Amino acid sequence: MTTLRLYNTATRQKEDFAPIDPANVRMYVCGPTVYDRAHLGNARPVIVFDVLFRLLRHVYGPDHVTYVRNFTDVDDKINARAAESGRPIGDITAETSQWFLGDMAAVGALEPNQMPRATEYIAQMVTMIEELIAKGHAYAAEGHVLFSVESYAEYGALSGRSVDDMIAGARVEVAPYKRNPMDFVLWKPSSSDLPGWDSPWGRGRPGWHIECSAMARDLLGERFDIHGGGIDLTFPHHENEIAQSRCAGHGFANVWMHNEMLQVEGKKMSKSLGNFFTVRDLLDQGVPGEVIRFVMLSTHYRKPMDWTEKKREEAERTLRKWRGLVAGIEPATSPAPQVIAALSDDLNVPGAMAALHQMSTKGDMADLLASANILGLLRPEHGGWVERRHVDSGGLQTGMNEQVAKDIDVLLDRRDDAKKQKRFEEADRIRDGLAQAGIIVKDAKDGSQWSLGQSVDLSKLDALK
């Protein structure tokens, strides 16, 4: 059996991966806080851990992997959104969760086996908090329960910080009920206008971190194999998860994996820089989900990745070409060994992609298809976007060859791009040129389509090339 090597943030090295139980390999990934559309950065961990999920299923068998990803549906950002919009919290979280699943399906992510919602695990969280108090790792004060960081000697080990450094560097909330400024909230009181549950400490709601410890224990057991998320979660979220679970008396995750962050055209994605966009924004602009996925996969997950317009264009061109090459081909029975070898080396997806390029130039189409499939690419269900744009196949019967049809598609792509970039003169020039050649362009919501008019003179297209 293939042995995977995975980089473990906790030990800062690549290690051979030895599952606790190869018949049930268990992975937990922190999911979204549901109050708004997922931005493009949020799609990165989803796609990274989707590839790992597919690889684990390949190596250990599809029925021998359990992947859990939560929805954080109790959070002060959600409460604030409800207050400002006047909408019930449950409506916001239900709608946003569905948006998330739809957008992630569009980028080709499989659904995890379990997608627990925090609000369904309040009882398990309360139990764990009671255990922590009983063991002297947490204390109740003024309706709050706080985790005492000084009670856990290894606090800070994952992110490599000492408690003293943290106090010096962090903007921690100093509160009269905290014994140490780094102590973090397990439970806090809720006023009557906020979501709350009865508890031994009065009506209140959980702090952010306890949900993952409680849900992972409930669904995956006291010790499991892999815990993932974005690198920004290492501290404080994952540090706090470890502290809670270890102090509750059990092991928690063996391997910690973190994806680096996504940037846009070399800059941090942020609303103030005007380069902030959601996955849905891109899909609505006509960028196929498969193209988003391809661009994401071209950078190793432990390197910062830069989303650029140039990469998007290249990805679309490559995928169009590959989809043309594998049309009508049956995939090989399994992915090529060099692809599995690359993926097994700490998810070297760029290495796997390089192997795909080689297969495409060498003409190994069955291997290309099977190997792309394990990366979630070239799957039949995601190929709709590449379909011919012409709405009428009559032209092909009247002697129009495939190449000319493709050339027209490319011209329409160029026109769509020109329109998007507000280069309207260029867009009109292409439309007029096509009209002179007898090609009728129809603008539709998801991009334009073409058909052949009454009298066609394809030689006129040369002027547009």
The CA–CA distances, whole Å, from 175 to 182, 185, 195, 424 equal 10, 11, 22, 58
Q: Which does 112 bind (CB under 5 to 8 A by kind): ligand AMP, Zn ion, none?
A: none
Residues that bind ligand AMP in the complex, under the rule CB under 6 A = 30, 32-33, 41-42, 44-45, 229-230, 232-233, 259, 261-262, 269
Which among 88-96, 109-117, 156-164, 212-220 is the span making contact with Zn ion, rule CB under 5 A?
212-220
Q: Which residues lie closer than 8 Å to 445 by C-beta, 6 or more apart?
A: none
Is there binding between residue 452 and Zn ion (CB under 5 A)? no
Which among 41-49, 205-213, 264-272, 384-392 is the span making contact with Zn ion, rule CB under 5 A?
205-213
Is-cis flag, bond preceding 335, omega within 30?
no
Q: Which does 288 bind (CB under 5 to 8 A by kind): ligand AMP, Zn ion, none?
A: none
Q: Which does 45 bind (CB under 5 to 8 A by kind): ligand AMP, Zn ion, none?
A: ligand AMP
**What DSSP letter does each residue of 237-272 carry, written as one string?**
IIHHHHHHHHHTTS-EEEEEEEEPPEEETTEE--GG
Burial of 417 (0-12, 13-18, 19+ CB in 10 A): middle
437: helix, coil or strand? coil
Is there binding between residue 212 and Zn ion (CB under 5 A)? yes
Nearest to 453 by CA among 388, 385, 398: 398
The C-alpha atoms of residue 359 and residue 377 are separated, in whole angstroms, by: 14
CB of 347 to Zn ion, least distance (A): 20
The C-alpha atoms of residue 450 and residue 405 are separated, in whole angstroms, by: 10
The C-alpha atoms of residue 33 and residue 87 are separated, in whole angstroms, by: 17
Is there binding between residue 47 and Zn ion (CB under 5 A)? no
Q: Give yes or no for a contact between 243 and 212, defined as CB atoms under 8 angstroms apart.
A: no
Give the residue nearest to ligand AMP (CB).
Answer: 230
> Is 28 or 60 the residue whose CB approaches ligand AMP more closely?
28
CB of 121 to Zn ion, least distance (A): 12
**What DSSP letter does each residue of 25-89 carry, written as one string?**
EEEEE---BSSSPPBHHHHHHHHHHHHHHHHHHHHH-GGGEEEEE-BB---HHHHHHHHHHT--H
> Is 103 or 239 the residue whose CB approaches Zn ion more closely?
239
Q: Which does 212 bind (CB under 5 to 8 A by kind): Zn ion, ligand AMP, none?
A: Zn ion
Read off the amino acid at residue 5: R
Q: Which does 33 bind (CB under 5 to 8 A by kind): Zn ion, ligand AMP, none?
A: ligand AMP
Q: Which does 41 bind (CB under 5 to 8 A by kind): Zn ion, ligand AMP, none?
A: ligand AMP
CB of 111 to ligand AMP, least distance (A): 16
Q: Which residues lie closer than 8 Å to 211 by C-beta, 6 or more apart?
A: 70, 72, 74, 118, 121, 125
Which among 3-11, 29-37, 136-144, 387-395 is the span making contact with Zn ion, rule CB under 5 A?
29-37
CB of 214 to ligand AMP, least distance (A): 17
> Is 41 or 335 the residue whose CB approaches ligand AMP more closely?
41
Q: Which does 428 bind (CB under 5 to 8 A by kind): ligand AMP, Zn ion, none?
A: none
Among the listed residues 6, 30, 59, 336, the single contact to Zn ion using CB under 5 A: 30
> Is 70 or 448 the residue whose CB approaches ligand AMP more closely?
70
Residues that bind Zn ion (CB under 5 A): 30, 212
